[in-house]
Amino acid sequence: MKQIYMDHHATTPVDAEVLEAMMPALTTEFGNPSSNTHAYGHAARYMVDAARAQVARLIAATSPDEIIFTSGATEADNLALKGVVHAKEHMADRNMITLAIEHKAVLDTAVRLEKEHVEIRFARMDPYGVVDLDDLEKKIDKNTILISIQAANSEIGTLQPIRDIGVIAKKHNVPFHTDAVQALGRCEIDVVRDHIDLLSISAHKMYGPKGIGALYVRKGIKLVPIIDGGGHERQMRSGTLNVPGIVGLGKAAEIAKRDLARESVRLLKLRNRLQEGILRRIDHVGINGHPTKRLPNNLNVTFAYVEGESLILACREVALSSGSACTSASLQSSYVLKALKVPDFLAHCSLRFGLGKSNTQEHIDIVIDLLEKGVQRLREMSPLYDMAREGVDIDGVRWSHHHK
């Protein structure tokens, strides 16, 4: 039996329409868009301009010129944060505000910027990972040069109130950056309405090719480039443009906008069926992230007293990811769940389900069956399960606290 793919937060397959759109740029229309002396270069430039407009329409940008193509969202995040910070090098006591559950592309960049004497301030969150807007605003002062808060979390699916954040940022004249990688194609985003100044995009998270992304840069926002050489992309990102990838990103953006309403409703129904089935048939489980303000295709579940990695192996017919990450010889629990104060032993018991276009109701029912059998088999072998049933505290958490 072919594996059921439920890891769409990690990556998505290239859509057939996207691949078809890319083929000319990979074969006959192979020119360099910077070559202005012949038809091959002109054709490539036309394709790049068309894709730029497609991406701009997805996020309701005022002008296609506000789209800067990058190698992916990680580079876009780096350009947004480092670009703003380096443009403010004349300021003393600079600080930026973010969340402890951001993608590592933001958090690791923030750590790097700390070495350049930029203070990183983390806004408080509620237990679901939603930013505390009052605390966010209190952390802003005259030296705040950037707010960077994701639109949606890739692990727990929680949606942030980006419009409210944008209003606060605009009120204090602080640029607002959002990593919108997980939200695009699943939630409507309007950079003008939401007062977003910088927005990171990735193609491969919305059925486009890997190795291509973009950064929306509102006109008037000053960035210092992190890559030099040639002055491409409005002097913000040098390097020969990846035309096939850009065409694929543009087509993926067009499809995402076209299908957003219908696909979001379909995925929400499947996600709810999965959640209801798990809660009905498996006891001692918990849902991580906001119960309603979350991505329509996301479900993050803690199966108490079952190692997430072991459950993945028990359900090898399904492609899933765990709430844990392997680092060298040790198993580290999810930094997202740890930031939300989920006890380690429960963080290790979490799985992330990322639904997508290929998933059906039949898939959901198969996965529920597999999970029920896998959890039952693993709990029968778990000493923690026996301890919990006997009323023993584990990490200070009682079994009853996590009984559905």
pLDDT at 401: 41
Verify that 141 and 237 share a domain, yes or no: yes
Verify that 195 and 319 share a domain, yes or no: no
Residue 352 CB contacts under 8 Å (≥ 6 apart), including other chains: 7, 9, 155, 156, 298, 299, 300, 320, 321, 322, 323
pLDDT at 324: 40
| Beta-strand relationship, 144-148 and 198-202 | unpaired
pLDDT at 392: 54
Residue 333: Cβ within 10 Å count: 21
pLDDT classification of 382: cutoffs 50, 70, 90: confident
pLDDT at 11: 96
Residue 330 has pLDDT above 50, yes or no: no
The whole-number average pLDDT for the span 129-151 is 98
Residue after which a domain boundary falls, among 231, 257, 283? 257
Alpha helix positions (H), 227-242: 232-235
Verify that 297 and 180 share a domain, yes or no: no
Rounded to a whole number of angstroms, the distance between the first and last alpha carbons of the chain is 32
In a domain, 174, yes or no: yes
Verify that 125 and 243 share a domain, yes or no: yes
pLDDT at 2: 84
In a domain, 285, yes or no: yes
Q: Is residue 101 a contact partner of residue 69, using CB atoms and an 8 Å limit?
A: no
Give phi and psi for 372, each to the nearest 5: -60, -45
Residue 142 CB contacts under 8 Å (≥ 6 apart), including other chains: none
Verify that 115 and 130 share a domain, yes or no: yes
Verify that 252 and 349 share a domain, yes or no: no
The whole-number average pLDDT for the span 58-82 is 97
Verify that 54 and 165 share a domain, yes or no: yes
- Mapped onto helix, strand or coil, the DSSP state of residue 57 is helix
pLDDT at 400: 46
Verify that 248 and 275 share a domain, yes or no: no
In a domain, 186, yes or no: yes
The whole-number average pLDDT for the span 150-171 is 98
The whole-number average pLDDT for the span 87-114 is 95
pLDDT at 68: 97
Catalytic residues: 326
Percent of the chain with pLDDT over 90: 82
pLDDT classification of 326: cutoffs 50, 70, 90: very low
Higher pLDDT, 236 or 18: 18
Q: Is residue 182 a contact partner of residue 35, using CB atoms and an 8 Å limit?
A: no
**Which structure tokens are listed for 370?**
């597999």
Residue after which a domain boundary falls, among 257, 275, 310? 257
The whole-number average pLDDT for the span 14-34 is 96
pTM over 0.95: no
pLDDT at 333: 81
In a domain, 4, yes or no: no
DSSP secondary structure of 148-198: E--SB-TTT-BBP-HHHHHHHHHHTT--EEEE-TTTBTTB---TTTTT-SE
Burial label for 392, CB within 10 Å (0-12, 13-18, 19+), is exposed
Residue 46 has pLDDT above 70, yes or no: yes
In a domain, 6, yes or no: no
What is the radius of gyration, based on Cα positions, of the chain?
22
The whole-number average pLDDT for the span 387-402 is 53
Q: What range defines the domain where residue 286 resides? A: 261-402
- Mapped onto helix, strand or coil, the DSSP state of residue 88 is coil
The whole-number average pLDDT for the span 367-371 is 97
Give the Cα-Cα-Cα angle 188, 150, 106 (nearest 5 degrees): 145
In a domain, 24, yes or no: yes
pLDDT 10s digits, 177-200: 999 999 999 999 999 999 999 999
pLDDT at 91: 86
In a domain, 379, yes or no: yes
Verify that 236 and 280 share a domain, yes or no: no
* CATH code of the domain covering residue 330: 3.90.1150.10
Residue 327 has pLDDT above 50, yes or no: no
pLDDT classification of 273: cutoffs 50, 70, 90: very high
Verify that 122 and 235 share a domain, yes or no: yes
* CATH code of the domain covering residue 80: 3.40.640.10
* Lowest pLDDT segment from 239-248, 301-310, 378-387: 378-387
The whole-number average pLDDT for the span 77-82 is 98
Residue 400: Cβ within 10 Å count: 9
Residue 23 has pLDDT above 50, yes or no: yes
Residue after which a domain boundary falls, among 233, 257, 281? 257
pLDDT at 231: 83
Percent of the chain with pLDDT over 70: 93
CA 404/CA 401 separation, integer angstroms: 9
Number of separate domains in the chain: 2
pLDDT at 325: 40
Verify that 247 and 292 share a domain, yes or no: no
| Mean pLDDT over each residue of the chain, to the nearest integer | 92
Alpha-carbon distances of 364 from 207, 319, 353, rounded to whole Å: 21, 13, 11
Which H or E element spans position 26? helix 16-26
Verify that 41 and 168 share a domain, yes or no: yes
In a domain, 7, yes or no: no
